[in-house]
Amino acid sequence: MIVLVLAGFPLKAQTKIDSLTSNKPDTVKFVMQKSPTGAMLRSAILPGWGQFYNQSYWKIPIVWGFLGYFAYKALDNNRLYKDYEGYAAADPSSRNIQIRDYYRDTRDTYFVYMALTYLINIVDSYVDAHLFDFNVSEMNNVKNYTLRIKLGL
């Protein structure tokens, strides 16, 4: 019986274009304000320049502070290594050689820290340029729902 009812209605395809849809391509395109590649290359040339380009001025002293600290410690350990290299040559006891090797290893570790800081600086400027246009305001498509409870005693 249901089949008979449905068979009585003629089925038609929609031939008229809906007024809400259009065949025009979307002409509005999002254009980034900052170039991630440009920010990355700036930071590769001069650490902190990519952060300056991205207007993240507070990060520049952090980058330079870490790089300066690691450079100072690497040079200081290099000076101590050279001092103990002379002591180890004059008196080749195992203690002088161990101290010399300790300062060499510590110097190399600080050079690795400098390289990692340099790479993190480049990655940070790249990511920061990608997120420059990201809007985090609270009024962006947020629906506020309230719950009202009335207790009648």
What is the spatial distance between Cα 101 and Cα 121, in angstroms, rounded to a whole number? 30
Here the tokens at position 116 are 């990692």
Kindly report the pTM of this predicted structure. Answer: 0.68
Residue in 98, 107, 38 with CA at minimum distance from that of residue 70: 107
State the residue for tokens 């002379």.
Answer: 86
pLDDT at 19: 55
Q: Do 63 and 47 touch, CB atoms closer than 8 A? A: yes
pLDDT at residue 13 is higher than 80: no
> Which pLDDT tens digit goes with each residue over 25-41?
657 776 778 889 999 99
Residue scoring higher pLDDT (148 or 23): 148
Query: Over the chain, what is the mean pLDDT?
Result: 82
Question: What are the angstrom distances between the C-alpha of 152 and each of 3, 36, 55, 149?
Answer: 54, 60, 56, 10
Q: Using CA atoms in the order 132, 135, 138, 144, what is the torsion angle rounded to 10 degrees?
A: -150
Q: Do 15 and 114 touch, CB atoms closer than 8 A? A: no
> Which pLDDT tens digit goes with each residue over 78-95?
999 999 888 777 777 778
